[in-house]
Amino acid sequence: CGMRTTKCQLLVTNLCVMLLGLSIATLSTVTHYGLHFTLISNVSLDSNAYRVIHHIAFYFGICLSMTLILAALLSSAATVRESQCLTAMGFFCFALAFCGLIPAACWRYTHSTEVEDSMMDVYDFVYEEVRRNTSSFRRHELTAIHEAFLCCGKHSPFGDTANVENKTCPPGQVHNEGQDCLREIQDFVKKHMDFVFSLLGIAIGFTVYGMILTSFLWFSIHFSSNLYRKGKYILR
């Protein structure tokens, strides 16, 4: 009866883990190919950390999602077939995913503003390039950023920003405090990263629960197999 309950709980957990894996893969793809993040990544310089973070986050998210899906599939197959080998493989995949989730969550906690700061640094660089009229190509990039984030310019200590905003802001946009691009970029990225952190926390919880259930299932299969062999005799 206890083993049957464990099987049911493990199957439900595996379904949730598979959905989490698909969600992480979808979020990684949206983050990598989304308009807001792609614009900043294309504009950023090699000295800026955002482009590196942008690519690492995508590949890490895809690998993590594949590990979670594989763990759920192996664990489900082990539950149905009562295979110790598949159960051990499922536990290993859960442990591998756990070892990836913990550093990712810790990095987000210890570097809480690094992504936001790097994106704002990119905007600052493009804005100052346009303000100094050193590149017409940068003017198109700044216009694209304004249209994507629905913002208009920034508060500059130099005070000569009206000319930049008239040339690069979308038609109908009026520059005011609520449309400051640095604030808009910071708010947008913070909301996105908070969602990512919440998803990582949920994934960690289900991964730990999956590890506990798979280990319990492995011991149940092991001891039930030993009990099944007891009492059998070979006639010679």
Scanning the structure block, which residue is given the tokens 């077939």?
81
Kindly report, residue by residue over 124-176, the tens digit of the pLDDT.
888 888 888 756 788 888 889 988 888 888 876 555 556 677 777 876 665 45
Rounded Cα distance, 108 and 131, in Å: 33
Kindly state whether residue 231 falls inside one of the protein's structural domains: no
Give the residue among 177, 167, 169 at the shortest CA–CA distance from 149.
169
Report the distance separating Cα 189 and Cα 39, nearest Å: 13
pLDDT digits (tens, 9 = 90+) for 37-61: 999 998 887 778 888 999 999 999 9
The answer to whether residue 229 scores a pLDDT higher than 50 is no
Helix ranges restricted to H, the chain: 2-33, 35-43, 50-81, 84-110, 114-131, 136-149, 162-168, 181-229
Range of the domain at 49: 1-153+161-218
224 within a domain of the structure (yes/no): no
Q: What band does 210 get if pLDDT is binned at 50, 70 and 90?
A: very high
User: Would you say the pTM of this structure is higher than 0.85?
Assistant: no
Residue 64 lies in a domain: yes
Does 192 fall in a domain? Answer: yes
Number of folded domains that form the chain:
1
Q: What is the pLDDT of residues 111-127, one digit of tens each?
A: 878 899 999 999 988 88
pLDDT at 73: 94
Q: What does the alpha-carbon distance between residue 148 and residue 168 come to, in Å, rounded to a whole number?
A: 12
To the nearest whole number, what is the mean pLDDT of the chain?
A: 84
